[in-house]
């Protein structure tokens, strides 16, 4: 009898410690001013607001910082400024309209949300995709991963004060976005990956364009190395700043580059493969110290791994259909609409009423540039999801901020926010 | 089948939730990925519940992941509408803090023992819980302080 009691006792102690010694400032988002007014003169700490309009917060992130001089003690991220009820909206959109909604969540890596949504729908439908559709999805996701990580390089450099890096990063990202535009028609918010496959086949000359990009990028990444990686001031700002370890990451549910920066190799593409990632060869990049520099370096090297994957996709891209030939979910080809009334009706029905999805619930997850992006979907058998929930990696990863910032300087806070790379559209949904 | 590996589902009652999650954590489910909820108000005839589980209006959905033998597990907890309370998972997985706040904000499910039971996405003085099925889309008036 006594042994289990001891375990319960220690567990409670740990819980109490975790609550009381936490790095998280647990006050209401309106309470800062009141507490400031009530505090007496001998109290040396102050509560300071950072954001929601602050250039280094990548959107509308607000931080309440408890400051002791220039040292950050506890802090609390206050979010919701970009909340537009996208999960509620999803309950009114058909499965074919769904990707237009989710693509606006993580606007730096929109194809991943589309992919998670489509995979969840296809799992409920029990659809098997033609190989070409799978490989096109993989091609697009890796291109998107490159553009997202390039954006990180640009903004991270800018936040630290390496302003020229912003121009380099954005120039390269624009090249990647131009390629995405050639294929999907849009720079961002593509609505390209849809339940049943992709919206359109790859255009003529796509192979040359991808080749041009992946031939040019390695030399450009070398420039990044010169500008940032080997630069003493830059390293000084990032090394040993915002350190987190594996146990903390796992406890906080953190995924993606932040988890990998602690030396823990976990990448859904390798460990729980989806699409055709088990048929390509790539390395999972890990760090050692779990600091801001490792998180930067991981993303830089993940671009190199994505280039490797892209080269293999170019070699192995199968021919065939780019979407499943299931009349229930696939509209007829454009040419058929001109000659057949039935095709016209069929097309009209799919785009107005949508298609019915069997009742059930499913969780589908992909490795987005920020970590595990999951889509939990419940269907009641109608043409719109009964419930659609996106597990945004940024939303969960944001919880590391107080732990990373505790005891650091306020100037480091900027470097830390940048290294977590949150996309507020996905945080607030 | 498609790319999505079917996740094993466990139906647990509210009183067993902490115990079950603690047990799963010891079995190697190292991380709580997701906590969300579903309002089954308009979908009472759902058929995917085993016969011994009494359907309730709300359902809490917890997803855990194991890395040693890669796989996820999903826990579904029935939460009645007249007493929407669930014990918090914070002490087992601190990462559920924000996720539980979101569920509390969107569904009005109270997490007992949660360290910071405030709204997370909606403004602090917002009335109602937007993701409930009886909260209409585009409902007016918009409740922001500046409009009053």
Question: What backbone phi and psi angles, to 5 degrees, belong to A62?
Answer: -115, 135
* pLDDT tens digits in sequence order for chain A, 429 residues long: 344 444 444 556 666 766 666 778 877 777 777 777 776 656 777 888 887 877 666 778 888 888 888 888 888 888 888 888 899 889 999 998 999 999 999 888 999 999 999 999 999 998 888 999 999 999 999 999 999 999 999 888 888 888 888 888 888 899 999 999 999 989 888 999 999 889 888 999 899 999 999 999 999 999 888 888 888 888 888 888 888 989 889 989 999 999 999 999 999 998 888 888 989 999 999 999 989 999 999 999 999 999 999 999 999 999 888 888 888 888 888 888 888 888 888 888 888 888 889 888 899 999 999 999 999 999 988 899 999 999 999 999 999 999 898 888 888 888 898 898 888 888 888
Which of B3, B32, B102 lies nearest to residue A253, judging by beta carbons? B32
CATH class of this structure's domain A95-326+355-403+413-428: mainly alpha
CB < 8 Å to B38, chain A = 361, 378, 386-387
Q: What is the nearest CA distance from B31 to chain A, expressed in angstroms?
A: 5
B98, B6 Cβ separation under 8 angstroms: no
Taking CB atoms and an 8 Å limit, are B98 and A255 in contact across chains?
no
Domain with CATH 1.10.645.10 in chain A: 95-326+355-403+413-428
Angle at A264 between CA A417 and CA B28, to 5 degrees: 115
Give contacts of B46 with chain A, Cβ < 8 Å: 359, 380
Is A328's Cβ below 8 Å from some Cβ in B? Answer: no
Q: Which of residues 8-27 of B touch A (CB under 8 A)?
A: none
In whole angstroms, what is the distance from residue A397 CA to residue A255 CA? 7
Q: Who's near A115: CB < 8 A, 6+ residues apart?
A: A137, A141, A193, A366
Which residues of B are less than 8 Å from A134 in CB distance?
3
Q: Give dist(CA B42, CA B112) in Å, integer.
A: 27
ipTM, interface predicted TM-score of the complex: 0.88
Contact B70 A24 (CB under 8 A): no
Give the CATH H-level superfamily of domain B9-147.
NADH:ubiquinone oxidoreductase Nqo5 subunit (3.30.460.80)
Q: Determine if the peptide bond prior to A263 is cis (ω within 30°).
A: no
| Per-residue model confidence as pLDDT tens digits over A300-357 | 999 999 999 999 999 999 988 888 888 888 888 888 888 888 888 888 888 888 888 9
Residue B138's SS3 state is coil
A263 near B CB under 8 A: no
Supply φ then ψ for residue A31, to 5 degrees.
-85, -10
Q: Kindly determine whether residue A29 and residue B97, on different chains, have CB atoms separated by under 8 Å.
A: no
Q: Does the CB of A88 have a partner CB in chain B at under 8 Å?
A: yes
Answer yes or no: do A126 and B33 touch at CB < 8 A: no
Whether B3 has a pLDDT exceeding 70, the answer reads: no
Q: Which two tokens stand for residue A92?
A: 């009114």
Instruction: Please tell me what DSSP assigns to residue B12.
Output: E
Which pLDDT belongs to residue B146?
Answer: 60
Q: Collapsing DSSP states into helix, strand and coil, what is residue A114?
A: helix
CA distance linking residue A77 with residue A383, whole number of Å? 37
**pTM, entire model:** 0.90
Containing H/E element for A322? none
What Cα–Cα distance (Å) separates residue A380 from each residue in A121, A358, A387, A410, B9?
A: 12, 7, 9, 49, 18
Is residue B82 a contact partner of residue B90, using CB atoms and an 8 Å limit?
A: no
State how far the alpha carbon of A356 is from the alpha carbons of A95, A124, A359, A381, in Å: 9, 10, 9, 6
- CA–CA dist A177, A167 (Å, integer): 15
Q: Where are the domains positioned within chain B?
A: 9-147
Q: Do the chains contact at A272 and B32, CB–CB below 8 Å?
A: no
B93 touches chain A (CB under 8 A): yes
């Amino acid at each position: 009898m006594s042994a289990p009691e001891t375990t319960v006792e220690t567990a409670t102690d740990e819980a109490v410690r975790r609550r009381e010694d936490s790095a998280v400032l647990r006050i209401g988002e309106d309470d800062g001013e009141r507490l400031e007014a009530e505090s007496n003169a001998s109290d040396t700490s102050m509560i300071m607001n950072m954001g929601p309009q602050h250039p280094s917060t990548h959107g509308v992130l607000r931080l309440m910082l408890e400051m002791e001089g220039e040292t950050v003690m506890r802090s609390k991220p206050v979010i919701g400024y970009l909340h537009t009820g996208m999960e509620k909206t999803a309950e009114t959109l058909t499965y074919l309209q769904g990707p237009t909604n989710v693509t606006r969540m993580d606007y730096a890596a929109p194809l991943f949300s589309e992919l998670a949504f489509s995979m969840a729908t296809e799992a409920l439908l029990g659809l098997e995709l033609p190989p070409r559709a799978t490989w096109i999805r993989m091609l697009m996701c890796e291109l998107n991963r490159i553009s997202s990580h390039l954006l990180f390089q640009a903004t991270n450099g800018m936040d630290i004060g390496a302003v020229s890096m912003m121009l380099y990063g954005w120039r390269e990202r624009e090249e990647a976005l131009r390629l995405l535009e050639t294929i999907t028609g849009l720079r961002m918010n593509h609505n390209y990956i849809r339940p049943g496959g992709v919206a359109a086949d790859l255009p003529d000359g796509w192979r040359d364009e991808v080749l041009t990009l992946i031939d040019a990028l390695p030399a450009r990444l070398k420039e990044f190395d010169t500008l940032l990686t080997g630069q003493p001031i830059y390293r000084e700002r990032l090394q040993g700043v915002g350190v987190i370890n594996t146990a903390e990451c796992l406890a906080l549910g953190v995924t993606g580059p932040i988890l990998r920066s602690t030396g823990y190799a976990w990448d859904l593409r390798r460990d729980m493969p989806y699409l055709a990632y088990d048929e390509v060869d790539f390395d999972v990049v890990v760090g050692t110290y779990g600091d801001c520099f490792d998180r930067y370096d991981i993303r830089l090297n993940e671009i190199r791994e994505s280039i490797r994957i892209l080269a293999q996709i170019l070699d192995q891209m199968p021919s065939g259909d780019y979407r499943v030939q299931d009349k229930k979910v696939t509209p007829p080809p454009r040419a058929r609409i001109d000659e057949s009334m039935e095709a016209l009706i069929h097309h009209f029905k799919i785009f107005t009423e949508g298609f019915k999805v069997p009742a059930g619930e499913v969780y589908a997850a992909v490795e987005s540039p920020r970590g595990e992006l999951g889509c939990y979907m419940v269907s009641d058998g109608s043409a719109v999801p009964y419930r659609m929930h996106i597990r945004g990696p940024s939303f969960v990863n944001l919880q590391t901020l107080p732990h990373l910032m505790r005891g650091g300087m306020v100037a480091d806070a900027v470097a830390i926010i940048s290294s977590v790379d949150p996309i507020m559209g996905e945080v607030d949904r | 089948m498609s790319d999505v590996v079917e996740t094993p589902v466990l139906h647990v009652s509210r009183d067993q939730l902490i115990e079950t999650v603690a047990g799963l954590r010891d079995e190697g489910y190292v991380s709580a990925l997701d906590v969300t909820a579903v309002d089954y108000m308009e979908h009472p005839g759902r058929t995917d519940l085993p016969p011994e589980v009494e359907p309730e209006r709300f359902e809490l959905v917890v997803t855990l992941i194991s890395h040693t033998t890669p796989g996820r597990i999903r826990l579904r907890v029935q939460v009645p509408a007249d007493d929407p309370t669930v014990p918090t998972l914070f002490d087992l997985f601190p990462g559920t803090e924000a996720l539980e706040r979101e569920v509390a904000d969107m569904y009005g499910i109270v997490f007992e023992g949660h360290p910071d039971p405030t709204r997370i996405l909606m403004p602090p003085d917002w009335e109602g819980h937007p993701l409930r099925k009886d909260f209409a889309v585009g409902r007016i008036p918009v409740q922001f302080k500046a409009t009053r």
